[in-house]
Structures are given as structure tokens and as C-alpha cells.
Structure 1
Amino acid sequence: MSAGTPAARISQRISAIAESATLAVDAKAKALKAAGRPVIGFGAGEPDFPTPDYIVKAAIEAAAQPKFHRYSPAAGLPELKKAIADKTLRDSGYKVDPSQVLVTNGGKQAVYNTFATLVDPGDEVIIPTPFWTTYPEAIRLAGGVPVEVFAGPEQGYLVTIEQLEAAVTDKTKILLFVSPSNPTGAVYSPEQVAEIGKWAASRGLWVVTDEIYEHLTYDGVKFTSIATAAPELGDKVVILNGVAKTYAMTGWRVGWMIGPADVIKAATNLQSHATSNVSNIMQVAAAAALTGPLTAVDEMKVAFDRRRKAIVAGLNAIDGVECPTPTGAFYVYADVRGLLGKEFETSNGPVRPTTSAELATLILDEVEVAIVPGEAFGPSGYVRLSYALGDDDLAEGVRRIQEFLGKAK
């Protein structure tokens, strides 16, 4: 920088980060509701159920114990790390030692820690697309290069080995694998999971797998962990997970990463300087969730399944919208390319949206329904709607969308 040239107030690294689109849509919807507007939000992936009582009780009891008022190990409480290891064996058939677990402040910190630990500047990370909005930002923060591999609705939003192979270069280090998927709700079959894992192993790649929606599958579809399905990966796999979605604990902020000892040690060193330990009270609550029954989870799934069927039927009733039926998570990812370029009558005159971002803005402004445009997750032309909201709101929101989009010319 030459003399007299003012320094930038914000670093280039941080200036390059895009705001979380899903949280931005949710914040705008909540702000409008707070102002008295009848906004219905399909933006955030947040169950509308309360956290189960036994988990809340565990947190209340922990808060009264002085031992939990102090610092604890940066990697997590021993009892929670053991619960995570036991739960991973129970649900994924994957055996790990508690020392291979790092407890994080929500799933997002697990994502950040993982890429910061594994990625050097210039390393490429293959990301099946559509992707959750945080993944590429965390990769870029680590100096890595996200490489998008797009799978559209024609192939069920599932990438193929051929597509992955075409994306590999001599700089590729990691494959990110997510099943069930946010934002599409797509779930890979056990055979597909094994095939992709074996391919990654043959290429010498790391696999980072996000399994936070593992318990949310429908129509008899089963979750399969790539760590178990492809033992060829050896110790070059990192599992990301958390309690947020399964136990309706989004605000409690407890996630974790599981990996080989050297990776977990390095990530723990990073976390020791960034945040230190996760709140002890929240960790005790998470341990109660993981060691308790899955009854509440099963009850939520019944509601999610009902809403899933209702929203798919409602959106597919609109000319120009194609909405595949998801088999996992609690999102639909609708193809709205058939509506782009069409004319909509608005309070400000006729408008012709040419992108899904413009269409989502139009829907929010005209009928006060918040959805997330495809630009947040990859190419334009799609929209994501979460069906983790009440049945009445879902029905009313879909009705408003149908009424507005049905007038397209």
C-alpha cells in the first residue's frame, strides 16, 4: 500500500463472505411479522416443535450445579463425547473413540473447523450442488476453492460418479457429501453411497460428510453413512453432525465433528483460541438428547411427513412449477424455471421476473410469503421451502403462492 492510500476498513477475506441467505430471509420475515405484517416464513430450516421436556429438564438441573459454572475442556465434556461416540455406533454402525470427537458451537462451527483444519490455499473441494449456503463460504475462508457439481431435478438432485470424475483435478483434496440433503431433501441409496465412497477412496480424496438430517427420512428410505458404506476411505473421513434438527434444538447450538485423532487435535487447538468450550449447560442437554429415547423424533417425523406431502401437492398444482418429492430432511426444492419471464400483475404494475431471486422477492412483497431463491444454493431457477412450520401456516402460505403464481401470463 502506497503512502497516503487509506487502508480498507474491512479485510478482503471477510468482505468476500456472503451473508447467509437462509438466515437473511428468515430475519426479514420475522421483522415484518414483528411490524404486524401477516408474513409466513418458509425460509429457515427450524422445527416448530419445542425441545423435548426431558432435555430442557437436564439443562435446568445442570444450571444449578456449580461444576458446570466453570471452564471445561475445549473439545467437550467427556460424558457428551462418549454419548456422541455411542450414538454414532448405534445410528451409523461406525465405531469411534470419544477422543475422536470435538464438540462445537452448532453444526456451523463444525463445518468451519473442518475446512480450516484440512484445507490449504488453492485446495479444491468438490461440492454437489444445490448445496447448503454455508459450505462454500467456509471453504473460501480457509483459502480453498469450491468446485460445484450440479445435479438437477431430472436426476433427482443426485450427482453421479461421472460428474464427480469430470470435476477432479490435481488440486482436488476433498469431496463434500451430504445425504439427506439441505436444500433438496434428496437421499442417496446405500448402493450410491458406497459407490461414491469407493470412488473417493480410489482418488485418494478426503470425504467430509454432513449427517445432521440422518433421522429425517421418509417412504421407507434409509440413511446410510458413507463412513460405514465405504471402509476403503480409512481414516480420511470427517463426520459432521449435531442435535439441532433431530431434537428441535436449533437455538441450543451444539454440534460436533468426528475424525482421525490428528485432525481432531488440530481442530481442537483452533477452537481453543476461537471459542473454547461450548456452554456446559447446552452440552449436558445434548447428552440427555442423545442418550434419551427417540420418541419425540418419531412424533415430529409424522408431522413432517404429512406436511411434506401437502406442500409437494400444493406446489405441483401450479402451472410452471415442478416439485420433486423429497425423501429426507424437511425441505422441498421446486423448479420454477417455467415461471421466469412470465408477466405478473403487482401493486406497482406488471413485472416479469427473470431469476428465482426476483421471483422470491415478488412473492414476499405481493403475498407476504418468504421463500429462499435458488441463487443461495447454486444456479437460479429454483426455490427452497422448508416445511418445518405449522400445518395451518403451511396451508395458508401455499394457498397464497398458488393464488399469486396462478395469475402468470
Structure 2
Amino acid sequence: MRLTVVGGGSTYTPELVDGICARRSTLDVEELVLVDPDERRLEIVGDFSRRLLARAGHPALVHTTTSVAEGAEGASAVLLQLRVGGQRARRSDETFPHACGCVGQETTGAGGLAKALRTVPVVLDIADRVREVAGPDAWLVDFTNPVGIVTRALLEAGHRAVGLCNVAIGLQRLSARLLGVDSASVRLDHVGLNHLSWERRVLVADAHGETDRLPELLAAHGPELAEHVGAPCDWLRRTGMLPSYYLKYFYAHDEAVRAQLTERPRADVVSEVEAELLACYADPALERTPELLASRGGAYYSEAAIELVRALIGAGSAGEHVVNVRNEGTLPFLPDDAVIETACAVDSSGVRPLPQRPVEPLLRGLIAQVSAYEHLALDAALRGGRDRVADALLAHPLVGQYALADRLADDLVAANRAVLPWVRKG
């Protein structure tokens, strides 16, 4: 198969190549095409990817190109892992909301909306070009944040797309380690939206069936889990659930803002890590992914992406994957066209959400509110307009006040004027 990565110059890409090497017997990748507008990064990452494949004895060929059309031609699947505006735009997303006392984060709140506005038009343009050369049956796997909004945009435009995040697989692997079991035996009862999700059960399979071992995890490893997700240990044990790391921005908003004001923006840290990684990758003697890559974030992304692609193209057996997909009645309190993050049955015929137990009121209200925000955010990304931006911010629970929404809308537009098509045209 021909696998294409748009944003292939990313420092994540070598981890993906490691995943391809590890699954040579079950995923027959003959060509890996890396697409990126940054020719320098593309050359460095492309050469390093070839060395990784050669060391593993993998016969796949690596091609690099700046052209989406050239790179996607004949592809069975296209992975999207791009960042419009780079780390400079991310730094803006993480800092401009602070002037209003709001959390600065690249995937939620005002910063997340800024990223969605920049990203959606670019991704839709890429998707259209992919469809022209690869045909309507090629799968688009979106790892580009904000995953829920971007995936919704792709699906509403009629693309064969699914969204992927590494939060669920990270919690699955952590649970397996703490329980001392094989990760393949662990299945999560995962519900919510992208970066707004909870694990309600940790199901471990053995010869007698499946057992929910989340109560045991919380009892024995509560402090470690609390530190990992940024939530109070007592609260985890009281609710009997494990929230994603991103829930701290909702449940401890003021505390998160105070912490951000004393810390370096994550964008600055990542920029330094990326520069170091690229310097490592450029060393012709390097034939293994360096340990530094773990500090870049995105742990287990390659495993999740490769296993998902295997299932989608029919290279592996049908499996269960936590992905972002159209709701279609799965959560009855959301519209069918909402995009949710949940466990799905995945095979070559498509992606189908598995039935969910009724969602607890504590979760249900927040999920519904953020889903409504995502609807307004996508409308603003597609049609533009300062007032649509302000309305989306007003609907977001991390903003939710007239004065804040109006000021943040003006600041967002000013900070992103050069990269918002509707602003440039105006």
C-alpha cells in the first residue's frame, strides 16, 4: 500500500516509521510519502526515515514532496498531522487569552478556536486535492487539532474521514502498566468529545470474561492517576471515573490560568525540543529514534495510527478503536451530526460507534455545551465573520460572558489577521 503523511516534516513522523517497521508482517507499506511545505524539514525527516527503515530491513520506499496532489496520488490512506502557523501561532493561542483572565490552550477555549479558524480551511483544501487524485475511497485519518472540529468539517464536506487522538491509548497503556497486565487485554469505556472525555470503566479480559478494574486502579493508584490527569484524587475516587488531562482546564480553570502565568508557554518548550530533534535526525549516523522524542508529546500516536489504518484498509482483523466519528444517535442528547470520541468497531467497510451506556448528568451537560460550541466554531471557520467568532466564544464554557467573548474575538482576529482568509479578503 501507499501511505501518505501530510505534515510529514513533523518531528512525530519517525515514531510513525517505527510503527510501520514493527508491523511489517501485518501492514504491507510499500511506499511512504511525506508531504510538507518546509523543504528543509522534509529532507531531514525523509532521510532519517529511510535510515530507520533500512536498519529494520523494511523494503518500503520513502518519497518526499511539497505537493499534496503528487503525494496523495494512489494513496490508500492519508494521515493529516499539520500545524497551520507553526509554533509561533501556537504561542499566540497559549497567551492572548491571558489578558482576559482565560486559559490559554491550543485546542480548547479561545486559543483552540483560533487554531480551528486557521486550520479548517487548509485541511478542507488538502482533502479536496486528495480526493481528486486518490479517489473517494481513500481514508483521511486526522490527527490535526482540534480533532473534533476538523473531523466534523471533513465529514460534513463528504470526505471519508475519521479523527484520532492519543489520549485514550495513553490511558489504556497507563492502566495496563499499573495493573500489570498485557495492554491488548485492556478495553476502555471511553465517552465524550475530543479533549473532553472520561473513562468510566477499565475492562480487563481474562479466561472468564471481562472485569471492570477501574475501582481497583483508583483505590491502589489514585495519587499517580490524579497527578497524570491533573485532578484531585478524592474527586476521582468519589466519581469512580478517570477524566482526560484536558478536563483540568474546565474543572480547575482559575488554578490552570495562575499556573500558566508562571510557566513558559508550551510552544516555546516544544520549539526547543523540535530544534534538538531535527539536529539529531540530521546526523547521518543516527539510525534509532532518540529518547528526546518522548518529550515532544503524542505518546503512542504511531501505534494508534498504524492499527487504525490496518483496520480501515482491511489489512488486519476488525477491531475496536477509540476515534472521532459522527454521533448518529450514539449519545441521544446530541444531534446526529455532532462528532464524538468513543469506542468504534472499525473494518474495511467503515467506522461504527459502539452502543453506549446512559451518560451521567455531570458529564452530559458539559459534553452538550462544548458540542454546541464546536458547531458554532465550525460555522465561524467556514463562513468567517468577527461576530460568529464572538458567538462561538460566548457558547464556550471557558468564556461564557458577553464582555469576554467580544474582547477575545477582537484579540483573536487581530492576532491571526494574516492567516484568516475572510479577514484578508475584508
> Higher relative CO (CA 8 A, sep ≥ 6), structure 1 or 2?
1
Higher relative helix content:
2
TM-score, with length taken from structure 1: 0.32
